Amino acid sequence: MKDLGLIQVYTGNGKGKTTASLGLAFRASGHGFKTCMLQFMKECPDYGEVKAAGFLPGFTVLQVGRNDFVDLADPDPIDIDLARTGWEKAKTVIDSGDYDIVILDEINVAMACGLLAAADVAAFLTARKRSVEIILTGRYAPPEIIAVAHLVTDMQEIKHPYQDGIPARQGIDY
């Protein structure tokens, strides 16, 4: 029996937010659930989750951002357009009935830097008609999202390899 429909948030300055959502998707796949992950701040076919998606039954990754860093203080108009188009796609996916779980990867960052209005996202998520589990990831989860979430995990960095000059590692960090 699928008892779905909660809103989960993985936020904070620590590593592991996307990874936690992927772990949930992996577990859910073992129970026959279908998951769609929309990546708001990413567009790179070299991410491990994009490569692995074809091996995990019922798991789809849609990249709706671009393969460039977004200036959070002064986003480029293309980033605003991509985020808004991505959000429209996410709403369609959520309402489609095709998925049990929808992961909105890095959407917290998109809201925090003004690419999307947090109040609009929160309103849609609380008014949705389908029992779809929603996972929102990324730093800077807005208060509006935290207020409507059923589970919020704040991942805090205590120590990170970057501090020792170790760059992001393929298969571990992306």
Tens-digit pLDDT profile for residues 26-79: 999 999 999 999 999 988 888 889 999 989 999 999 999 988 888 889 999 999
CA distance 78 to 86: 12
Look up the CATH superfamily of 7-156: P-loop containing nucleotide triphosphate hydrolases (3.40.50.300)
DSSP 94-121: HHHSS-SEEEEETHHHHHHTTSS-HHHH
Q: Is the pLDDT of residue 127 over 60?
A: yes
How far is it, in rounded angstroms, from Cα 171 to Cα 117? 33
- pLDDT exceeds 60 at position 119: yes
d(CA 120, CA 112): 13
The per-residue pLDDT for 169 is: 87
State the average pLDDT over residues 138-161.
96
Per-residue confidence (pLDDT) for residue 1, from 0 to 100: 53
